[in-house]
Amino acid sequence: MAVIQFIPGLNETVIPEVKLTRSRDGNTGTATFRFTNPNVLDISTSKEGDITGMYLDDEEGQLITRDVNAKFVNGRPQAIEAVYVIRSPEDWDRFMRFMERYANANGLTFTKAA
């Protein structure tokens, strides 16, 4: 089972929009995750702890990014944006394996940019 967490042990139930960029040589890139009104921002989850990063967990292990930012509207958090940096072809393969598992677990499909 592939899950995304912001607080270890607390699965995020909101499905993010994910945008990928890749360098021309295909070796590096970024994955930008945007969660609109994620459950981690609910008052009821505040007792679970603080957001310390974004954790992508599956049977192979964990991918982690600390590049996590909240977006505010009228002083209230409305979204979380997290950027996962992919540093090598091996990282690409590992990230794509996670995303395939996450997509299958959540009924998602891949749409290539035009």
pLDDT, tens only, 27-75: 999 999 999 999 988 877 767 888 899 999 999 999 999 999 999 888 8
In a domain? residue 54: yes
In a domain? residue 112: no
Compute the half-sphere exposure of residue 110: CA atoms within 13 Å on the CB side of its CA: 9
In a domain? residue 72: yes
Residue numbers of the domain that contains 37: 3-103
User: Cα(58)–Cα(97) distance, rounded to whole angstroms?
Assistant: 9
| Cβ–Cβ under 8 Å, residues 14 and 80 | no
Whole-structure pTM value: 0.90
Cα torsion angle, 46, 52, 54, 58, sign: negative
Name the domain count of the chain.
1
In a domain? residue 109: no
In a domain? residue 78: yes
- Choose among 114, 3, 6, 2: nearest CA to 70: 6
In a domain? residue 114: no
Q: How confident is the model at residue 109 (pLDDT cuts 50, 70, 90)?
A: confident
**Which CATH number do you get for residue 86?**
2.40.30.220
Checking if the pLDDT of 113 tops 70, the result is no
